[in-house]
């Protein structure tokens, strides 16, 4: 077996340390991990049906046509509590434009833990109770908060593992709301003359 | 590199390490103290035994089986930190949890184990991991 040269050994050790640091979830940067899918590469958000606090069945598919911020959280998650007031504001501000926040609680203690929290924090968006199955559907959800921003076609546009910046969320939501508005507007402009031309012929 | 992979998968499940405690030897009727050494992985913290927010899950050592009676469990003084404007009382790095045991007069002589569990909830400044429990075994020799 060939011996490793010193530089190669240093590189391997550095990669190893980096990998270990990544897998412990310990990071020194201020925000969590974020990823953006290019529009053509967006994958459908896995559908699910969960119950809200009134026992009503709620499916993600019910929200097709809306931009959805799907937030996995838990009452015991401190960083989740930081984001909740932002989401309340987003819900209020953009609801009329076809936006909704869906909060899926991953509390093992169920509604017994979640209901008082929702009341205390005056959460104004829909909260559902999650389970391990939905956790698997969305990649395991080892860390909370984990949030997905879903476009109007029901595709995963943005993913945030860990606390993200409020402005980051805002610009992503606005861009998804605006891109649809723009495409609808451009379709309308293009379609009208075509119809008129057709009618004239 | 490949040698580090098992370490990585291990790290995804355990956010803290409990050093296996040494055997304690005690006579019937005596009181003994034992300190369990715990290390939280770098970059993480666990909630203290008394978190400042009622919804956060406290660190808790519970002895569930064995010949000794648990008189008290003492945790160290927590560290106060602020994350995103939220004040937290946490433990980081290495620390000890002290348990005071009483050896009952009728405890059987010989060597056995005290068993227990340490429940904790680990986070870093951006995310939290699911609450977890780790089993604890304390070898005990009753004379």
* DSSP characters over B67-81: SSEEEEEE-PPPEEE
> How many domains does the structure of chain B reveal?
1
pLDDT class of A78 with cuts at 50, 70, 90: very high
Cβ separation A76–B56 shorter than 8 A: yes
Q: What mean pLDDT is predicted for residues A57-65?
A: 95
Q: pLDDT by residue (tens digit) across A9-46?
A: 444 444 343 333 444 444 333 356 778 888 788 999 99
- Smallest Cβ–Cβ distance between B129 and the set A16, A25, A108 belongs to A25
- % chain A with pLDDT above 70: 73
**Residues whose CB falls within 8 Å of the CB of residue A96, separated by 6 or more in sequence, listed in order:** none
How close B81 gets to chain A, by Cα (Å)?
12
Query: Would you give per-residue pLDDT tens digits along chain B (143 residues)?
Result: 333 333 333 334 689 999 999 999 999 999 999 999 999 999 999 999 999 999 999 999 999 999 999 999 999 999 999 988 889 999 999 999 999 999 999 999 999 999 999 999 999 999 999 999 999 999 999 98
pTM of the predicted structure, to 2 decimals: 0.79
Q: What is the pLDDT of residue B125?
A: 92
HSE-up of residue A3 (Cα within 13 Å, Cβ side):
2
Give SS3 for A74.
coil
- Average pLDDT in chain A: 80
Cβ separation B85–A82 shorter than 8 A: yes
From chain A, the residues in CB contact with B14 under 8 A are none
- What is the arrangement of strands in the sheet containing B110-120, beginning at the earlier edge strand? B24-26, B132-142, B110-120, B60-65
Does a structural domain hold residue B3? no
CATH code, domain carrying B114: 2.60.40.1250
Q: Please name the helix (run of DSSP H) or strand (run of DSSP E) that holds residue A103, with its range, or none.
A: strand A99-105
pLDDT at A6 over 60: no
Does a structural domain hold residue B8? no
Q: Structural domain boundaries of chain A? A: 29-200
Q: What is the pLDDT of residue A193?
A: 29
* B43 CB within 8 Å of a chain A CB: yes
Q: Could you list the beta-strand ranges (E) of chain B.
A: 16-18, 24-26, 31-40, 45-47, 60-65, 69-74, 79-83, 86-91, 94-102, 110-120, 122-123, 128-129, 132-142
Q: pLDDT by residue (tens digit) across A113-136?
A: 999 999 999 999 999 999 999 999
pLDDT class of A5 with cuts at 50, 70, 90: low
* B128 CB within 8 Å of a chain A CB: yes
- % chain A with pLDDT above 90: 66
Q: What is the pLDDT of residue A17?
A: 38
| Residue in the structure block whose two tokens are 């008189």 | B71
What ipTM was assigned to the predicted interfaces of this complex?
0.82
Q: Which of B127, B129, B130, B132 is most worth mutating to test chain A (most A CB atoms within 10 A of its CB)?
A: B127
Domain enclosing residue B22, as ranges: 13-142
- Smallest Cβ–Cβ distance between B8 and the set A23, A30, A82 belongs to A23
Q: What is the pLDDT of residue B3?
A: 37
**Residues whose CB falls within 8 Å of the CB of residue B96, separated by 6 or more in sequence, listed in order:** B35, B36, B37, B38, B76
Q: What is the pLDDT of residue B5?
A: 35
From chain A, the residues in CB contact with B83 under 8 A are 78-79, 82
Cβ separation B56–A19 shorter than 8 A: no
Please name the fold of domain A29-200: Glutaredoxin (3.40.30)
Cβ separation A27–B11 shorter than 8 A: no
Cα–Cα distance between A23 and B74 in angstroms, integer?
A: 31
């Amino acid at each position: 077996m060939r011996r490793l040269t010193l530089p190669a050994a240093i590189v391997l050790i550095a990669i190893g340390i980096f990998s270990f640091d990544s897998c412990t979830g310990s990071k020194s940067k201020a925000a969590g991990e974020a990823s953006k899918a290019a529009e053509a590469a967006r994958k459908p958000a896995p559908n699910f049906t969960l119950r809200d606090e009134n026992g009503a069945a709620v499916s993600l598919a019910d929200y097709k046509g809306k931009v959805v911020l799907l937030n996995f959280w838990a009452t015991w998650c401190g960083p989740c509590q930081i984001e909740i007031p932002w989401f309340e504001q987003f819900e209020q501000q953009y609801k009329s434009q076809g936006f909704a926040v869906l909060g899926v609680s991953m509390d093992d203690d169920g509604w017994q833990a979640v209901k008082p929290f929702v009341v205390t924090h005056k959460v104004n968006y829909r909260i559902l109770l999650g389970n391990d199955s939905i956790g698997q559907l969305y990649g395991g959800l080892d860390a909370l908060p984990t949030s997905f921003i879903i476009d109007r076609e029901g595709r995963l546009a943005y993913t945030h593992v860990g606390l993200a910046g409020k402005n980051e969320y805002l610009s992503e939501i606005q861009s998804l709301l605006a891109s649809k508005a723009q495409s609808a507007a451009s379709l309308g402009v293009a379609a009208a003359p075509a119809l008129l031309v057709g009618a004239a012929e | 590199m490949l040698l580090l992979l098992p370490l990585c998968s291990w790290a995804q499940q355990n956010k803290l390490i409990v050093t296996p405690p040494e055997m304690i030897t005690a006579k019937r009727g005596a009181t003994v103290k034992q300190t369990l050494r715990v290390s939280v992985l770098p970059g993480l913290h666990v909630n203290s035994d008394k978190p400042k927010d009622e919804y956060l899950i406290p660190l808790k050592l519970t002895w569930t089986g064995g010949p000794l009676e648990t008189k008290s469990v003492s945790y160290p003084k927590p560290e106060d930190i602020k994350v995103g404007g939220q004040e937290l009382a946490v433990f980081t790095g290495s620390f000890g949890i002290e348990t005071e045991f009483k050896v009952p007069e009728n405890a059987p002589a010989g060597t056995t184990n005290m068993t227990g569990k340490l429940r904790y909830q680990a986070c870093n400044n951006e995310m939290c991991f699911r609450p977890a429990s780790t089993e604890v075994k304390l070898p005990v020799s009753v004379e």
